[in-house]
A and B are shown apart, each in its own frame.
Chain A
Amino acid sequence: MPSLKDLKNRIETVKSTRKITKAMQMVAAAKLRRAQEAAEMARPYAERMEAVMSGLAQAVGNAEGAPRLLAGTGEDKVHLLVVMTSERGLCGGFNSSIARLARQRIQKLLGEGKTVKILTVGKKGREQLRRDYSDHMIGHVDLSDVKRVGYANASDIASDVLNRFDAGEFDVATIFYNHFQSVISQIPTAQQIIPASFDDAEAAEGGTLYDYEPSEEAVLEDLLPRGVATQIFTALLENGASEQGARMSAMDNATRNAGEMIDKLTIQYNRSRQAVITNELIEIISGAEAL
């Protein structure tokens, strides 16, 4: 049976924890709004990019000598997985769900006898994957100093990936990130970025016949690397929003749990205090009766 003082200390501790989680929730809510705005603002560019590229890909895609970024290397042996996670913890299942999806994919690829290379973005994912797959890790991008993810960050990652592709280090690249659905739901997503894949139905809509300057191939050549960067940028922004959303709901839960705990502890505290008082009364009364 804990003493009254212990209980009181315990209640104080839980109260200050609740204050912290409450504050973290509010910070996450503010950051979430900003992250969502950023994702919103990046959307027109990404959508337009996708539309133009898929139109072009259809026009050029099947021809001989199509760019390797579009047609692939013709092989399917070495897979690069770009696993994007957060730099900080305390955000519920955010990082584990990405790591789980990546791990499933790795197992599947290894089972098929493919070579797997992993590039991690964000330290939490690296920590989780390093345990089992440290031999496959080929690089890590640290974004912990970055306050606000910009296109420059995505473009750095993209040029790293593209350089590796040009050097023939892999055949297929896939990015893993959490797609932001809502505050309570983030969907871990795997998206193939090299060779570029497009939704055929979407491409069919843009039926306008364009003139291309300098030429279809040249435009495509210029666009594909940008497309990779744009996809990575979109993923980073989605991930940013998802992280804050996940943290917000995790902290909301924590705050609520702390509240329940305080209630329980307070009841326990009151009961034991009452017990002490009753005990004292009994002692006084029985003392008085004995006289």
Chain B
Amino acid sequence: MATMQFDLVSPERRLASMEVSEVQIPGADGDLTAMPDHAPLITTLRPGVLRAIGAEGEKAYFVTGGFADVAGPSATILAERALPVDEVTGDLVEELISASETRRSNASDETADAAAKYHADLTSALDAIVGR
């Protein structure tokens, strides 16, 4: 099976770098799956779960945002904050939700929509993880 290079980097470190056959990306306008030789694409991310499927099985990561750079033989995810789904803890969930709520309540008219969307995406992503 064809594979592609998958890199997941956060500002602080490289979280993953491996050969995968497909990556499921929570894009800002909806989920998408990148497979080898995907057309070059740059998309922003919404909070959600990123899945990389390779020879070693499926790896799931929770990302809060950032963007994905998909180009032919490689997919690079630059995540603002990312960690393996197994490491999502109750404390983190609460921290993220309260930060998002503060942001939403402080949002001006222009940014209210974006903040509300962020909050909705965040809560549904976290619900999905916690409700497993």
Interface residues of A (CB under 8 A from B): 38, 41-42, 44-46, 48-49, 52, 56, 150-151, 154, 208-214, 218-219, 222-223, 226, 229-230, 233
Contact = CB atoms under 8 A, between A and B. Distances in A.
A214 B28 contact: yes
B67 interface: yes
A218 B44 contact: yes
Contacts of A48: 9, 69, 76, 78
Interface string B16-39: 000000000001110000000001
Given A45-B78, A48-B69, A230 B11 contact: yes
Contacts of B28: 213-214, 218, 222
B44 A208 contact: no
A56 B69 CA distance: 12
A229 B78 CA distance: 13
B3 interface: no
Nearest to B13: A41
Interface residues of B, number: 24
A219 B28 CA distance: 10
Contacts of A223: 44, 67
21 contacts: A42-B11, A45-B11, A48-B78, A151-B10, A208-B40, A208-B71, A210-B69, A210-B71, A211-B39, A211-B40, A213-B27, A213-B28, A213-B29, A213-B41, A214-B29, A218-B44, A219-B42, A219-B44, A222-B28, A222-B67, A226-B80
Given A213-B42, A214-B28, A45 B71 contact: no
Nearest to A149: B12
Contacts of B40: 208-211
Contact of B14 (A44, A208, A219): A44
Main secondary structure on chain B at its contact with chain A?
A: strand
A109 to B, nearest CB: 31
Contacts of B78: 45, 48-49, 52
B43 interface: yes
A223 B9 CA distance: 15
A59 to B, nearest CB: 11
B99 to A, nearest CB: 10
A241 to B, nearest CB: 15
A182 B38 CA distance: 41
A52 B78 CA distance: 11
Contacts of A210: 40-42, 69, 71
Given A151-B80, A212-B41, A219-B67, 9 more contacts: A41-B14, A48-B76, A52-B42, A210-B40, A211-B40, A212-B42, A213-B43, A219-B42, A226-B80
